Chain A
Amino acid sequence: MSNVIEVQGLTKRFGSLVAVDDVSFSVRRGEIFGLLGKNGAGKTTTVEILEGYQSPDAGTVKVLGVEPKDGGRLWKDRIGLVLQDSDFDPGHTVAETVNLFAGFFSRPKSVSETLALVGLTDKANVRIGRLSGGQRRRVDVALGIIGSPELLFLDEPTTGFDPSARREFWTMLEGLRSTGTSILLTTHYMEEAQHLCDRIAILATGRIVAEGTASTLIALSGSTSLRFAHDVALDIDAMSSATNLSFRVVGDTLSADLSNSQGDLLRLLHYCEAKGIVLDGLEVVRPTLDDVFLDVTGEPS
C-alpha cells in the first residue's frame, strides 16, 4: 500500500455551514503533505476527521487502511497527533510528561532520543510551566512522535515560533521524513509549505482549489516578473512599445510580467543599452507560493 491517507468526496457540515465540501486527496507513504488555507478554510475539520475526532457527513476516508472512526488501539498505536491547541500540567517536567506517553505505545522511542529530536535535551528536567511557548509546542511534538508513528499529524505546529525556532523545526521534520515517517501538516505559512512539503493542497472555504508540488503550483500561477527602480526621467510609454512589455509603477519601482523571460529581458537590455539608460537595482522575480495562494483564494494569506 503506497498511500497512507485516502480521502474521497469528504464533506462535513455544521448546521447550514459546509465546513468541508467534497474534498479528495491522498498522501503517499514517506512524504510531507501540506494542507494550506486561511483560518476557517476547513483545515482543522479535515484533520480532525482523519484523526477520528469527528465523523464525516459524506465521503470515504481511509487512514493507514482504516476508517478513522473505527480506529482502535492498534491503529492509534501507529499514528502520532499534534493538535492545534492543548495545554500541559505545568508542575511536571518535560521528561516525566514524555515518559508518561511513552508507556501508551507498543514501540516507543527512548525519551532521550525524542527530546534530542525536538531539541529539548537540555530542558528534560525543567517543569513545563517554566518553558516558553515555542518550547511547549516542541513538547507537543515530542508527545506526537514518542510512539514511533508511521503517520504524524501536525496541526499548525509552528504558530508562535520565532524564525530561528521555525528553521530548527523544519530541520527536525526533514529528519523524521528521512526515517520514513509520513507527515500531514497544516499551516498558514506559505514559506513553511514551500520549504517542507513534497505536495500541497490549498483549501479555501472547504474546497481544494489547487493541488500539486510547490513548483508545479508556482508554475501554474502568475508569471516571472522583472523590476527595477523607477526614474522620473524615463519615458515609460516609449520603453513599453519598444520592448513589448507593460510596465506598472508600484511605489518607487517599475515592474513588468515576463512571458518569455530570456527574450523579454534581452529586448529590454538592448533598448536600454542603445538609449544609455541605467537600470538601477534590476532583478528578475519568480512568483512565490504566496502569489499562488493569492491567486487561487483571491485573498492574502
Chain B
Amino acid sequence: MRFLRLTVRQAHYNLLGYLRSARTVIFGVLMPVGFLVLFNSVFGGKFKTIPVDGHDISTIAFYTGGLTTYGVMLGTFTGILVAIVGAREAGWLKRFRGTPMPSGVFLAGEIIYLFVTSLGLIIVMLAVSHFGYDLSIRADALLAIFCYTVLGVFAFSAMGLALCRVITTSEMAGSVGPFTVVILSFVSGVFLAPNLLPQWLLTFSSYLPLEPIVTGIQHAIALPTGSGFVLRPFIVLGIWGVVCFVIAQLTFTWEPQRR
C-alpha cells in the first residue's frame, strides 16, 4: 500500500516535470504528430494502400500505427534512459538511495509516468487521424491497442534500463536514444513501406523489438474484423523485455559514474 502510494506520487512528480519542459512535449508529442501530417500529405495521395504482413492497409492507417509506435518507443526508451542516466549523474539517485524510499518506487514511478504519457500520445495521434484524415477505428480494436501500449512501454523501458550501465552521461543518453529509435524505425515499417525493404532485412527486423508491435498496431487499426490481437508481438517483445530487465537488475547502479 505504501509502495503504491509512493509510486503514484513519484509518477505525478515526473509528469509535472514532463508537462513543464518544452523539450519533452515537443519531442514527445509535436514531432510524431508533425511526422504523421507530413508523411500523410506526401504519400497519402500517391498510394491508396500499403501491404503489411499479408494485408493491404490504408496509407493513413499505416502511418498512424507506425508513427504512434515510433513515438511510444522514442518517449519510453529514450525517456527512461535520459531520466535515469541524468538523475544518476546529478546525484539524485544517490540521494534517493540515502532515504527510506523502497528502491523499486523510483523505477515504478518512471514506468507508470511513461505509460501515462504514451497513452496520451496515442489518444492525440488517433484523434488527429480520425478527425483530420477520416480514419475510423473500431471500438473492438481499442483493447488490443491498449494492450500493445502496455507491452511496448514494458519492453522499451526495459531496453532503456539495460543500457543505463554502459551509457555513462546524459549527453550520451540524449543522442544514443533517439538514434537507436530512428534506425530501428527505418527497418521496421514506420517510415518506409515494408515491401521496399529486402527480404533478409524484413526477416531480421521481425526479431527486433519494434517491427512486431508496429505491425500489430497497424493491423489493429486497419483490419475490418477480429479482435486486433496477434501473438507474435507479445512473444518477441516479451522476451526482449524480460531479458533486458534481468540485465538491468544485474547491472543497475545508483552512484554517479566516473567518466
Contact = CB atoms under 8 A, between A and B. Distances in A.
Interface in A66-85: 73-74, 76-77, 79, 81, 83, 85
A96 B14 CA distance: 11
A103 B17 contact: no
B114 to A, nearest CB: 16
B252 to A, nearest CB: 16
B259 to A, nearest CB: 15
Contacts of B102: 73
A74 B16 contact: no
B91 A85 contact: yes
Decide if the interface of chain A is mainly helix, strand, loop or mixed: loop
A109 to B, nearest CB: 14
Given A92-B17, A103-B5, A103-B6, A86 B91 contact: yes
B188 interface: no
Nearest to B5: A103
B101 A104 contact: yes
Given A92-B16, A92-B17, A87 B90 contact: yes
B91 A91 contact: no
Given A91-B17, A92-B13, A92-B17, A104 B91 contact: no
A101 B99 contact: yes
B100 interface: yes
A239 B20 CA distance: 74
Interface string B133-156: 000000000000000000000000
Interface string B232-247: 0000000000000000
Contacts of B203: none
A127 B10 CA distance: 17
Contacts of B9: 100, 103
Contact of A86 (B10, B20, B90, B100): B90
Contacts of A92: 13, 16-17, 20
Contacts of A87: 90-92
A89 B99 contact: no
A37 interface: no
Contacts of A88: 90, 92
A172 B102 CA distance: 30
A31 interface: no
A89 B255 contact: no
Given A86-B90, A86-B92, A87-B90, A76 B20 contact: no
Contacts of B5: 103
Looking at chain B's contact residues, the main secondary structure is helix
Nearest to A72: B100
Interface in B60-104: 90-92, 94-95, 97-102
Contacts of B199: none
B100 A104 contact: yes
A87 to B, nearest CB: 4
A53 interface: yes
Given A86-B92, A100-B10, A100-B13, A91 B99 contact: no
Contacts of B225: none
B17 A51 contact: no
Contacts of A53: 94, 97-98, 255
Given A100-B10, A103-B5, A76 B99 contact: yes
Contact of A104 (B13, B20, B99, B255): B99
B99 to A, nearest CB: 4
B138 to A, nearest CB: 39
Contacts of B13: 92, 96, 100
A147 B99 contact: yes
Interface string A80-117: 01010111110110001000110111100000000000
Q: Which of A101, A103, A127 has the most CB of B within 10 A?
A: A103
Contact of A76 (B6, B21, B92, B98): B98
B245 to A, nearest CB: 23
Contacts of A85: 91
A74 B99 CA distance: 10
28 contacts: A52-B98, A53-B94, A73-B102, A76-B98, A76-B100, A77-B100, A79-B98, A81-B95, A83-B91, A83-B98, A86-B91, A87-B90, A87-B92, A88-B90, A88-B92, A89-B92, A91-B17, A91-B21, A92-B13, A92-B17, A92-B20, A96-B13, A96-B16, A101-B99, A104-B99, A104-B100, A105-B99, A105-B100
Given A88-B92, A96-B13, A96-B16, 17 more contacts: A51-B98, A52-B98, A53-B98, A73-B100, A83-B91, A86-B90, A86-B91, A87-B90, A89-B17, A91-B17, A91-B21, A100-B9, A103-B5, A104-B6, A104-B101, A105-B99, A143-B95
